[in-house]
Structure 1
């Protein structure tokens, strides 16, 4: 659902010949590329702007100093790009000329090594806004990145869980790292046995209609949170076969658990975990701040 790097590798089809452990290993390589080496790698972000309806932001910087590029509120006369969110669409002006909203998907070139991407994002329950990123291909954070740190793959953390759906798809509002709110919908509870203990874990979707649900997510803390696992909790995603909601059972592989992107970057808007697993979950991604890689 959240499309984070490590989690994206979990999608298996009947044609996949690789074992879950092999898919997990490949996912780590993909995650490292998403963080540091791809053109729009997360650690190449210099700054972000989150705009509500009617708000403006100006991109300002020195073409000879890539690290200086940043967003300022409002409309600035010396801006390389002015952006606003009007009637649900991005409105962009570069050098006094309009730029098509569709250009944000691939990137709008600003200066050598600098470009801008963006798109619609949830700002609050029922409210869509605009998120904008400015990327610097010379960003020191990307160059210094050593790779994500994970626990060794342990098949014991791949569990089959009974699924009890929530027929109301009850809305649940999560506070986020940027002081905003994000709404997800409680799709049901997964119950499984791990380390001899029965655990019930709520699972959430980003759509309220069952037909629109393609995957579910858990936002959880555990006994390792703040003690080797990221202090704000971790996420794990559960893929669902098309047209198979509600399933009688789901498979949860905690080896694919991942940190919110906010664990390494201040430029994201991450829900805080709220559900607790009463176990030391030695699976998935570790706290990137706990030890040097």
Structure 2
């Protein structure tokens, strides 16, 4: 490649910055309002809006200030706007804002582009990797034999939608062959891709374009021009995630990385909560119950808890690497708000009905895009929900356990606080049960490794207590399994029967296992008849 290519790339980066920060560019989008057949008010807009016969309709009065783009007179009465999928699409304007009707899969919405949007005002540029000619590689496009295909992929709003793809491009990076599924026919190609930098050094996925292939399918894939999707600039865009097979197993250190604002990076990598030590079971009836909560609470030192955390790392699926980048106080507060709303919705409505739309409504958000900005998808949000349940659990249980000394006393505190947790935080545990039940048999394999890791560590703690003479001689694995199953069974009863005497049940279960772990001579002494040796 030549300096001319590098200069052209520099011009491209400058034009990208100008385009996204234009008065009505992606950074200006402040809302995507999905419309119902019934007229309703929209935040910050005059009149009432609804969807009817494939158009976006509004009822306006004189003084509302809305007019059709290109016209001088104010629009009043009933106004019908054709959406962006119509060849004669129409746009309305209001005080410098553009009101753009859109249609997606038969559903209509109104997008509001406001030049005064806070993100546009705070925009400081797009961070990029330096230009490197080795990231522009020859590629060969091969169309699918049966023509264009629709692939169902998740979108940024949590819904799965068809993505039309037409073939694959084959290329070589660092001596290894790769393929990507792309769209386009008879002209330039485009694709949605992720790689080993995604969610860590770069946004969670990026878009690519390739020049139109020649007659033999030859083209060029220039990762220097991999660019951020619209949803990186505003919460209110709907963007398709990469289709199956479009995550490269190499770090692509080229192209655009993040949107940078005055206060730092707008959207950093997601941080689903780290390793969570917990044990699952399947109680009678085939439904999973609550969990025998963190074994690391029984660990006698911070080092032991650290080792357990390492042993159970990855329990909830592949975690994004690296720490969150540039997350502000406001962003952290918004994530907490979404997680709390998700817990309430899942606990009340159930796993299957916990859609992004329902969660957004419960949280008081204007659209599902806010959830998609902070979480990569429903699975990512559920991981954070489980992480929050674990944090609540540890905050409730840990002080009681650490106030005790000796394995037996800690075991008692662990069992009692675990059972009483269900009464203190029923909403959180109910949500957890719904998630585990809703994920079905797939969850069994997902959590199996972590479950074994925690049980192995619990077993090590029991053996250490036996070696110190604190516990009697018995099969440590049997004890660990019994504790897990017993706590889960009691927790199921607590959640199903609000009138149950939780404290009495917790004490009875703790007494049972306290007697079970005692050394034989202690048990004999406790049951000796007075005067028996006289």
TM-score by length of 2: 0.41
Tell me, yes or no, if the aligned pair for 1:188 and 1:204 is still in contact at 8 Å.
yes
Q: Deviations over 1:142-183 (max 9, x none)?
A: 111101111111111111112221022221111111122332
* Corresponding residue SS for 2:235: coil
- Partner of residue 182, structure 1: 161
Tell me, yes or no, if the aligned pair for 1:228 and 1:286 is still in contact at 8 Å.
yes
- Partner of residue 103, structure 2: 121
* Corresponding residue SS for 2:239: coil
Root mean square deviation, CA, Å: 2.8
Are 1:26 and 2:11 an aligned pair? yes
Are 1:42 and 2:26 an aligned pair? yes
* Corresponding residue SS for 2:121: helix
* Corresponding residue SS for 2:227: coil
- Partner of residue 227, structure 1: 200
What residue ranges of structure 1 are gaps of 5+ in the alignment? 1-17, 61-68, 70-78
- Could you tell me how far 1:236 is from its partner in structure 2? 0.6
Tell me, yes or no, if the aligned pair for 1:221 and 1:277 is still in contact at 8 Å.
yes
* Corresponding residue SS for 1:156: helix
- Partner of residue 132, structure 2: 154
Tell me, yes or no, if the aligned pair for 1:120 and 1:128 is still in contact at 8 Å.
no
Tell me, yes or no, if the aligned pair for 2:47 and 2:59 is still in contact at 8 Å.
yes
- Partner of residue 279, structure 1: 250
* Counterpart Cα distance in 1 of 2:129 and 2:13: 11
Aligned counterpart for 2:191 among listed residues 196, 199, 218:
218
* Counterpart Cα distance in 1 of 2:38 and 2:193: 34
* Counterpart Cα distance in 1 of 2:29 and 2:13: 20
* Counterpart Cα distance in 2 of 1:29 and 1:266: 23
Aligned counterpart for 1:98 among listed residues 78, 88, 103:
78
Q: Deviations over 1:37-85 (max 9, x none)?
A: x221222222221347x4655334xxxxxxxx2xxxxxxxxx6143333
How has the CA–CA distance of structure 1 residues 58 and 286 changed in structure 2, closer, same or farther, with 3 Å as cutoff? same
* Counterpart Cα distance in 1 of 2:174 and 2:14: 29
- Partner of residue 76, structure 1: none
How has the CA–CA distance of structure 1 residues 82 and 32 changed in structure 2, closer, same or farther, with 3 Å as cutoff? farther
* Corresponding residue SS for 1:27: helix
Aligned counterpart for 2:92 among listed residues 88, 100, 108:
108
* Counterpart Cα distance in 1 of 2:99 and 2:56: 11
Q: Deviations over 1:75-123 (max 9, x none)?
A: xxxx61433332222323322513352699675333x44x23213333x
How has the CA–CA distance of structure 1 residues 26 and 264 changed in structure 2, closer, same or farther, with 3 Å as cutoff? same
Q: Where is the strand percentage greater, Structure 1 or Structure 2? A: 1
* Counterpart Cα distance in 1 of 2:40 and 2:5: 44
- Partner of residue 10, structure 1: none
Tell me, yes or no, if the aligned pair for 1:188 and 1:203 is still in contact at 8 Å.
yes
Aligned counterpart for 2:170 among listed residues 188, 191, 213:
191
- Partner of residue 89, structure 1: 55
Bigger shift: residues 128-137 or 139-148:
128-137
- Partner of residue 135, structure 1: 113
* Counterpart Cα distance in 2 of 1:129 and 1:251: 37
Q: Where is the helix percentage greater, Structure 1 or Structure 2? A: 2
* Counterpart Cα distance in 2 of 1:192 and 1:186: 18
Q: Deviations over 1:247-274 (max 9, x none)?
A: 5222211111112221231110011124
- Partner of residue 74, structure 1: none
What residue ranges of structure 2 are gaps of 5+ in the alignment? 62-75, 260-266, 269-324, 327-534
Tell me, yes or no, if the aligned pair for 1:237 and 1:252 is still in contact at 8 Å.
yes
* Counterpart Cα distance in 1 of 2:163 and 2:212: 17
- Partner of residue 58, structure 1: 41
How has the CA–CA distance of structure 1 residues 106 and 42 changed in structure 2, closer, same or farther, with 3 Å as cutoff? farther
Q: Deviations over 1:209-231 (max 9, x none)?
A: x5xx5433221111111220112
How has the CA–CA distance of structure 1 residues 147 and 163 changed in structure 2, closer, same or farther, with 3 Å as cutoff? same
* Corresponding residue SS for 1:22: helix
- Partner of residue 487, structure 2: none
